[in-house]
Amino acid sequence: MAKYQDFTCVKVEIDEEGITWVTFNRPEKRNAMNPTLHFEMLEIMTALENDNDCKVIVLTGAGNSWSAGMDLKEYFRETENNPDLGFRATMAHRYWATYVTNWSKKPTIAMVNGYCFGGAFHSLAHCDIVVSADEATYGLSEVNWGIIPGGNVAKVFNNLVNHRDALFYAMTGRTFDGQKAVEMGVANISVPLAQLKEETIKICRELMEKSPMVLAYTKQCVRAVQGMDMTESFEYLGAKALALRTVDPRKTRATGMEEFLDKKTYRPGLQAVKKTS
Ligand code: ACO
């Protein structure tokens, strides 16, 4: 597709099914995130939100790395005397990796094909689903660079894993692989690298069978209730459930009930969803 061609640090390909492969594309620098990458990611993720060709977004990395974290030279050292660039890069990162990825109506999957270090945990944590290669290498290496796991890495890592593991891996900087990432809650699934793409496509197809509006509401609700107490959450979910009935163009709820209760043609959970609309 001709669109999304003008980027230097990120490659975007939308396949015929709607799976959108967003690839950090600095393999020679192990996909370390420099300011340009953040500016491009903000532009790309924002554009994909309303791109009807894009059904699901997969973030991955070119070569043997998902991302080696923030670019120590271009993101840190070279912005020390350029606070304007530093601020814009920080905000672009914060915006695309937190708000856009978190609240996008498109499902977001991190397909971790290799190294994932430091600042890369921030975007990883905000993807909806993480599929890892067994061979991937993860590490909160900040402590070895004389810095803290900032850019909200300490926060998002704490949210994913138990507090003991958060302290252990942040303080030792030890690395772990894909299987350990699943055990700790960093990733959902880990498979041998040779099967990584196939496994990811399988999940994408499963997601694309759902009503996009129901899926968007579902992810946003699961995220939003995290910070709420029981009463707020009841009220919020009640309002969202009512809103969904109105805005879902497929009327999935009504159709599902009719097909299950009356026509007896629909069995959610027991077989693939085959609703008529
Ligand atoms: N920032 C800037 N450049 C980087 C980074 C990074 N985070 N990671 C790798 N690179 C560069 C290297 O400087 C090197 O550049 P050069 O060819 O111009 O010398 C190139 O990428 C290849 O790196 P190598 O170390 O030669 O590659 P190798 O495959 O042997 O190792 C690994 C890969 C393990 C990822 C290693 O590069 C590494 O440890 N990188 C740092 C990872 C890290 O700790 N990231 C966290 C940074 S702090 C933060 O994100 C907040």
pLDDT digits (tens, 9 = 90+) for 168-223: 999 999 999 999 999 999 999 999 999 999 999 999 999 999 999 999 999 999 99
182 C-alpha to center of ligand 1: Å? 24
DSSP state of 151: T
Helix spans in the chain (H): 35-49, 83-94, 101-103, 120-126, 153-160, 163-172, 178-184, 196-208, 212-224, 230-247, 252-257
pLDDT digits (tens, 9 = 90+) for 235-269: 999 999 999 999 998 888 888 888 888 888 887 76
pLDDT for the residue numbered 271: 55
pLDDT bucket at 163, cuts 50 / 70 / 90: very high
274 C-alpha to center of ligand 1: Å? 47
Res. 68: pLDDT tops 90? yes
Say how far apart CA 191 and CA 36 lie, in whole Å. Answer: 31
DSSP state of 3: T
Res. 274: pLDDT tops 60? no
pLDDT for the residue numbered 275: 56
Q: Whose CA is nearest to atom 31 of ligand 1?
A: 30
DSSP state of 232: H
218 C-alpha to center of ligand 1: Å? 37
Res. 84: pLDDT tops 80? yes
Which residue matches tokens 């977004």?
A: 57
pLDDT digits (tens, 9 = 90+) for 33-61: 999 999 999 999 999 999 999 999 999 99
Residue-averaged pLDDT of the chain: 95
Parallel/antiparallel/unpaired status of strands 115-117 and 129-133:
unpaired
Residues with CB under 6 A from ligand 1: 29-30, 32, 65, 68-73, 115, 117-119, 141-142, 145
Q: Whose CA is nearest to atom 21 of ligand 1?
A: 29
pLDDT for the residue numbered 268: 72
pLDDT digits (tens, 9 = 90+) for 112-141: 999 999 999 999 999 999 999 999 999 999
Res. 80: pLDDT tops 70? yes
31 C-alpha to center of ligand 1: Å? 9
Region 8-22 average pLDDT: 98
Q: At how many degrees (to 10) do helices 153-160 and 163-172 cross? A: 140
pLDDT for the residue numbered 117: 98
pLDDT bucket at 3, cuts 50 / 70 / 90: confident
pLDDT for the residue numbered 234: 98
